[in-house]
């Protein structure tokens, strides 16, 4: 290993990376776009459910529950309530008849009409129906024959749910890292296809010097962008060393993937084709974080990016520490070394 | 090991799967000598060069460059050789200066002036342009310049003038001779017999992986070629016809005398065998 040669090759690779206009543009624009996406998305979660009510005589129980996370909007005309539901101003509208309290007193069944938005999830629709039933069961003077004891498993997120803006961070970090795969794989593929690697290898340069320089180029570019992004969005304050190590392992994985793609690709188009396949497969775990429950989670655990994005998500959004995610990091380390070794081996075979 | 030998090759072989590309070849190249290595496509020229410059490992045999065994000291040797490949392999998104500077740094050369080298190969004024905008001839000149960047003791040139116009080819030949005059040993691989004849101190013919002849062009011509006089004469019906009289035979003086007495000679000149004629005579096939 010759540090002078590695430094020279690193400067050359870095220069060539940015001489490719396409790669330079997607690198810089990507960072700008991801920052825009982050700042565009809401950073808070609206926990108050707004329900519209039309009631000539307001039942006392409705006034009582207003302070329990439910916002009640009253309407003087039923037509206005219906319109508010259809325009999405309130998630549901309840119409109480004028004689509701009299009927309850007599033990009769009053009719409560409910307007529900067509876009409302079925679970919320049935929850509202159950909620209204229970509400008037209590209003009628009965006590529910059940006592509920709540125990929160894991960090209690009541009042501090993860906003979409925070949930998207692992996805954006993944995008930043994987973007570098295209650039580095293209550099490797060009070095082989244009036979410049032969010109290097008839100098005192050794094949391992070339691999180290390429690996460093990919690693530094990916890591610096991810760190720059996290510094700008202010997410590097909590556990910076833990995040740095997680990102470093992620960068080793994308460098290994770049070596694999670079060894099979023949030109820029095939780099993009192979890169997109890798991109789609590895993207899944971060989608699972952005939209929890959208994807069956068990099989996702075979993907290395699961451990990368989950670790970032847990540390940044739930305040996890070394103790909580060391297993994730260990698996990530095994994956990163494994993928890098396979990448170097295949690239070496391809060249020879 | 003979100190005056820059390249020593002993029983070298290389096999690509079932194809024996280089078959037990042996030869030497003296310091400051230009050896033309000739043969048709697929004869084993480039494979031999690739072994000598360290891109391929020989299956059998040994080779020494500057007295050092290539199987043990290749990286050390590579610091003292220059290579110009057959196929252009430059960093085309970089300028000529950046290309040369990169290789100068890899070789650890400090006191070099890229502008001077580029001027010498006729690229003065275009030093800072991206190589992708260069013509084929300009790229080839830059390939040559790159091979000289570390002032090598041995230079391997693989088809250095292939596909170039006559002016560019002549300029490159001039530079090759200048490098020889500087003291460099030159291993020139080509299938251009005329070029080899003009540049080489000795030429080696390789065919089907074997060296079939190795000597100075003059000796090869004397050994395998025939000398003749070629004349254009006007026949009785007014047509111009060719007549050829072999030299070095017992009948030569009388034949020459008859020609001038009986025929109306329009032009006459001596004819020597070309290296191509000799190659065909030795191998029974042409160079393409």
What's the whole-number mean pLDDT along residues A79-99? 87
Q: Chains A and B: how many Cβ contacts under 8 Å? A: 59
Burial of B156 (0-12, 13-18, 19+ CB in 10 A): buried
pLDDT in tens, A94-117: 888 888 888 877 878 888 888 888
Examine the pLDDT at A316 and tell me if it is beyond 80: yes
CA distance A16 to chain B (A): 7
B132 in reach of chain A (CB within 8 A): no
pLDDT interval class at B152 (50, 70, 90): very high
- Whether B90 and A15 lie within 8 Å, measured CB to CB: no
E strand or H helix at B13: strand B5-16
Please indicate whether residue B287 or residue B100 has the higher confidence score (pLDDT): B100
pLDDT of residue A159: 58
Interface list for A 16-45 with B (CB within 8 A): 16, 19-20
Query: Rounded to a whole number, what is the distance in angstroms from the first to the last CA of chain B?
Result: 37
Residue B152's closest chain A neighbor by CA?
A203
Nearest to A195 among B76, B89, B106 (CB): B89
Residue B57's closest chain A neighbor by CA?
A352
A162 DSSP assignment: P
A199 in reach of chain B (CB within 8 A): yes
pLDDT of residue B222: 81
Nearest to A204 among B75, B87, B93 (CB): B75
Mutate to test the interface with B, among A204, A351, A352 (most CBs of B within 10 A): A204
pLDDT of residue A140: 74
Cα–Cα distance measured from residue A16 to residue A196, given in angstroms and rounded to the nearest whole number: 13
B75 in reach of chain A (CB within 8 A): yes
pTM of the complete model: 0.78
**B22 three-state secondary structure:** strand
pLDDT interval class at A155 (50, 70, 90): low
- Whether A202 and B107 lie within 8 Å, measured CB to CB: no
pLDDT in tens, B211-236: 999 999 988 888 877 778 889 998 88
Mean pLDDT of chain A: 85
pLDDT in tens, A16-27: 998 888 888 888
Examine the pLDDT at B97 and tell me if it is beyond 60: yes
Examine the pLDDT at A288 and tell me if it is beyond 60: yes
- Report how far apart, in Å, the C-alpha atoms of B119 and of each of A314, B106, B130, B226 are: 61, 22, 16, 43
B84 in reach of chain A (CB within 8 A): no
pLDDT of residue B50: 94
pLDDT of residue A1: 79
B90 in reach of chain A (CB within 8 A): yes
Examine the pLDDT at A271 and tell me if it is beyond 70: yes
CA neighbor of B19 nearest in space, from B283, B206, B205, B208? B208
Q: Phi and psi (nearest 5°) for B40?
A: -70, 170
Dihedral (Cα; A212, A214, A215, A220), 10-degree rounding: 120
Q: Chain-centre distance of CA A324, in angstroms? A: 19
Burial of B45 (0-12, 13-18, 19+ CB in 10 A): buried
A207 in reach of chain B (CB within 8 A): no
């Amino acid at each position: 290993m010759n540090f002078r040669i590695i430094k020279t090759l690193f400067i050359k690779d870095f220069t060539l990376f940015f001489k490719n206009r396409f790669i330079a543009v997607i690198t810089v624009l990507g960072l700008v776009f991801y920052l825009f996406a982050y700042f565009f998305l809401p950073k808070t979660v609206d926990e108050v459910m707004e329900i519209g009510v039309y009631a000539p005589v307001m039942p006392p129980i409705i006034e009582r529950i207003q302070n329990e996370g439910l916002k009640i909007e009253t309407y003087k005309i039923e037509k206005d309530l219906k319109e508010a539901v259809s325009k999405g101003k309130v998630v549901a509208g309840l119409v109480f008849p004028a004689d509701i309290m009299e009927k309850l007193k007599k033990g009769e069944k009053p009719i409560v009409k409910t307007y529900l938005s067509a876009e409302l999830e079925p679970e919320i629709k049935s929850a509202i129906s159950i909620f209204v039933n229970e509400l008037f069961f209590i209003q009628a003077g009965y006590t529910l024959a059940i006592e509920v004891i709540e125990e929160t498993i894991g960090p209690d997120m009541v009042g501090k749910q993860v906003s979409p803006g925070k949930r998207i961070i692992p996805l954006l970090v993944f995008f930043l890292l994987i973007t570098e795969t295209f650039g580095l794989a293209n550099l490797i593929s060009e070095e082989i296809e244009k036979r410049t690697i032969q010109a290097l290898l008839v100098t005192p340069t050794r094949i391992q010097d070339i691999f180290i320089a390429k690996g460093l180029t990919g690693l530094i570019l990916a890591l610096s962008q991810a760190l720059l992004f996290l510094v700008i969005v202010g997410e590097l304050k909590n556990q910076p060393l833990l995040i740095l190590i997680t990102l470093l392992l992620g960068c080793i994985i994308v460098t290994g993937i770049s070596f694999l793609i670079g060894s099979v690709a023949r030109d820029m188009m095939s780099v993009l084709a192979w890169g997109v396949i890798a991109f789609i497969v590895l993207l899944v775990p971060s989608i699972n974080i952005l939209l929890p429950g959208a994807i069956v989670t068990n099989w996702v655990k075979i993907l290395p990016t699961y451990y990368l994005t989950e670790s970032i998500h847990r540390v940044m959004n739930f305040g996890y520490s070394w103790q909580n995610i060391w297993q994730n990091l260990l698996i990530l380390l095994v994956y990163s070394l494994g993928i890098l070794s396979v990448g170097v081996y295949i690239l070496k075979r391809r060249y020879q | 090991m003979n100190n005056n030998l820059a390249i020593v090759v002993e029983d070298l072989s290389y096999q690509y799967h079932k194809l024996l590309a280089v078959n037990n070849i042996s030869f030497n190249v003296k310091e400051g000598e230009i050896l033309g290595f000739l043969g048709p496509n697929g004869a084993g020229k480039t494979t031999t060069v690739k072994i000598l410059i360290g891109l391929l490992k020989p299956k059998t045999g040994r080779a020494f460059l500057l007295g050092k065994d290539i199987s043990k000291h290749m990286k050390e040797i590579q610091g003292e050789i220059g290579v110009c490949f057959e196929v252009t392999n430059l960093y085309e998104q970089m300028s000529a200066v950046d290309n040369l500077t990169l290789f100068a740094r890899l070789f650890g050369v400090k006191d070099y002036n890229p502008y001077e080298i580029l001027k010498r190969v006729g690229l003065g004024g275009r030093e800072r342009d991206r190589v992708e905008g260069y013509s084929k001839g300009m790229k080839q000149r830059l390939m040559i310049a790159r091979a000289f960047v570390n002032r090598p003791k041995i230079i391997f040139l693989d088809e250095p003038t292939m596909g170039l116009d006559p002016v560019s080819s002549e300029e490159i030949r001039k530079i090759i001779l200048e490098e020889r005059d500087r003291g460099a040993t030159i291993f020139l691989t080509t299938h251009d017999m005329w070029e080899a004849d003009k540049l080489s101190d000795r030429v080696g013919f390789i065919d089907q992986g074997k060296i079939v002849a190795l000597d100075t062009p003059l000796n090869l011509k004397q050994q395998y070629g025939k000398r003749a006089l070629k004349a254009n004469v006007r026949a009785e019906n007014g047509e111009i016809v060719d007549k050829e009289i072999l030299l070095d035979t017992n009948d030569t003086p009388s034949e020459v005398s008859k020609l001038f007495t009986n025929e109306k000679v329009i032009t006459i000149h001596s004819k020597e065998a070309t290296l191509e004629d000799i190659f065909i005579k030795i191998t029974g096939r042409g160079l393409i």
